[in-house]
C-alpha cells in the first residue's frame, strides 16, 4: 500500500542517511584532528589516562630543563676545581724550586702570591645562576626526576651534594655571611705554622718550613682531586638521568598515542566507504520521495 501521508521508505532512507552522516562527521573529525579520542565523550577512560600522562610529561619536560641547569652548575664547579688544581700544582712547583740553595725566595713568593690571588679569583667566579659549588658549607640539590607512584601520589626527587669546607673537605673556601671566607676550605684552612695554601709566605721559611709547605700542598691537591672526582661523578649521573628522562618522555608520548591517536590508513579507507554510502543513501531517499509523485498518474484522465 502506498500512502501520501506516511512514506515509510523515505523515513527508512532518511534514518540511514542520518546515521551515515554522523559516522562521516566523526571520521572527518578523526582525519582532521589526528585523534581517535579527542575529548572525554569519545572515550572517558582513555581520555582521562591520556590527559594525566600528558600532564606528567610536561612535568618531565621541566625536570629535563632543571637537569640541564644542574649540569651547568656542576660543570662550572668542576671547571673551577680543575683550574684550581692546576694553580696549586704550579704553587707546588714553585715550592720545589724554593728548596734549591741560593734561590731568592722573595721572588718566588711574589709568584706564589699571584697564584694565591688566582685561587681566590677562581672561587669567586665559579658561580652559575647564583650558586657557587666550590665555596660554602651546605647541601646543594639538583632536580633529577618526577615520580608518580601506584597510588597516584606525585613527588620530585633530587640528587644532593654536600659541601664541606673543612681542610680535607670538598670546597676551595668556606662562606660566611654570604661572602667567601678565606680562612676555611681546602685552600683557606690553616696547616699549622705555615698557615694555609692561600696565606702561606715562604720568604722566611727554612728547609723544614718548605718541606711542611710541600706536604700541605700535596694534601690540598689530594682533597681537590677527590672533590673534582665527586663533581665528575655527579655530572655523569646527571647526564644519565637526562638520557633516561628523554627516553621516558618519548615512551609516554608513544603510549598516549596508542590510546588516542587515529589510525590514518584505517580512517582514510573508512572515509571513502562512508562517502560512497552517503551518495547511495541520498539516491535511495530521492527514489523513496519520488514514489509519492507516481500516484498522480493514477488520477490523470
In order, the DSSP letters of 97-131 are HHTSTT--HHHHHHHHHHHHHHHHHHHHH-EETTE
Say if residue 118 is in the same domain as residue 78: yes
Report how far residue 43's alpha carbon sits from residue 35's, in angstroms, rounded to the nearest whole number: 11
Say if residue 195 is in the same domain as residue 146: yes
Report how far residue 274's alpha carbon sits from residue 214's, in angstroms, rounded to the nearest whole number: 88
Q: Which residue has the higher pLDDT, 150 or 221?
A: 221
Report how far residue 193's alpha carbon sits from residue 195's, in angstroms, rounded to the nearest whole number: 6
Say if residue 288 is in the same domain as residue 200: no
Contact predicate 129/142, CB 8 Å: no
Give the tens place of pLDDT for each residue, 156-182. Answer: 888 889 999 998 999 999 998 889 999
Say if residue 247 is in the same domain as residue 279: no
Say if residue 14 is in the same domain as residue 123: no
**242 — phi, psi (to 5°)?**
-60, -45
282 found inside a domain: yes
Say if residue 124 is in the same domain as residue 54: yes
Q: Which residues have CB under 8 Å from 71's CB, separation 6+?
A: 142, 235, 238, 239, 242
Say if residue 237 is in the same domain as residue 285: no
Say if residue 12 is in the same domain as residue 129: no
| Mean pLDDT for the chain overall | 89
Q: Is the pLDDT of residue 301 over 80?
A: no
pLDDT band of residue 36 (cuts 50, 70, 90) is confident
Say if residue 280 is in the same domain as residue 170: no
Count of the separate structural domains present in the chain: 2
Q: Is the pLDDT of residue 186 over 60?
A: yes
Say if residue 93 is in the same domain as residue 202: yes
39 found inside a domain: no
Residue-number span of the structural domain to which 16 is assigned? 8-34+263-299
116 found inside a domain: yes
CATH code of the domain in which 208 resides: 1.20.1330.10
pLDDT band of residue 2 (cuts 50, 70, 90) is low
Q: Residue 44 corresponds to which cell in the numbers above?
A: 572517558
1 found inside a domain: no
Say if residue 67 is in the same domain as residue 190: yes
pLDDT band of residue 210 (cuts 50, 70, 90) is very high
30 found inside a domain: yes
Say if residue 61 is in the same domain as residue 104: yes
Amino acid at each position: 500500500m502506498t500512502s501520501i501521508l506516511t512514506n515509510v521508505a523515505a523515513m527508512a532512507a532518511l534514518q540511514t542517511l542520518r546515521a551515515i552522516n554522523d559516522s562521516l562527521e566523526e571520521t572527518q573529525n578523526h582525519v582532521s584532528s589526528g585523534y581517535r579520542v579527542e575529548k572525554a565523550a569519545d572515550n572517558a577512560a582513555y581520555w582521562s589516562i591520556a590527559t594525566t600522562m600528558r600532564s606528567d610529561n610536561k612535568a618531565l619536560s621541566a625536570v629535563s630543563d632543571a637537569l640541564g641547569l644542574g649540569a651547568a652548575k656542576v660543570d662550572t664547579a668542576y671547571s673551577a676545581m680543575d683550574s684550581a688544581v692546576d694553580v696549586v700544582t704550579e704553587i707546588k712547583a714553585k715550592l720545589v724550586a724554593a728548596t734549591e740553595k741560593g734561590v731568592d725566595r722573595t721572588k718566588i713568593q711574589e709568584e706564589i702570591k699571584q697564584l694565591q690571588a688566582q685561587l681566590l679569583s677562581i672561587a669567586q667566579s665559579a658561580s652559575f645562576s647564583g650558586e657557587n659549588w666550590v665555596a660554602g658549607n651546605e647541601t646543594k640539590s639538583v632536580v633529577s626526576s618526577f615520580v608518580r607512584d601506584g597510588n597516584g601520589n606525585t613527588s620530585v626527587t633530587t640528587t644532593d651534594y654536600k659541601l664541606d669546607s673543612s681542610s680535607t673537605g670538598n670546597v676551595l673556601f668556606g662562606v660566611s655571611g654570604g661572602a667567601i671566607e678565606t680562612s676555611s676550605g681546602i685552600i683557606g684552612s690553616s696547616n699549622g705554622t705555615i698557615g694555609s695554601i692561600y696565606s702561606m709566605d715562604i720568604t722566611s721559611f727554612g728547609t723544614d718550613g718548605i718541606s711542611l709547605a710541600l706536604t700541605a700542598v700535596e694534601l690540598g691537591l689530594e682533597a681537590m682531586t677527590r672533590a673534582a672526582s665527586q663533581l665528575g661523578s655527579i655530572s655523569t649521573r646527571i647526564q644519565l638521568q637526562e638520557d633516561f628522562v628523554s627516553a621516558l618522555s618519548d615512551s609516554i608520548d608513544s603510549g598516549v598515542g596508542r590510546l588516542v591517536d587515529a589510525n590514518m590508513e584505517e580512517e582514510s579507507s573508512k572515509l571513502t566507504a562512508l562517502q560512497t554510502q552517503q551518495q547511495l543513501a541520498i539516491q535511495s531517499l530521492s527514489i523513496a520521495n519520488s514514489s509519492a509523485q507516481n500516484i498522480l498518474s493514477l488520477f490523470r484522465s
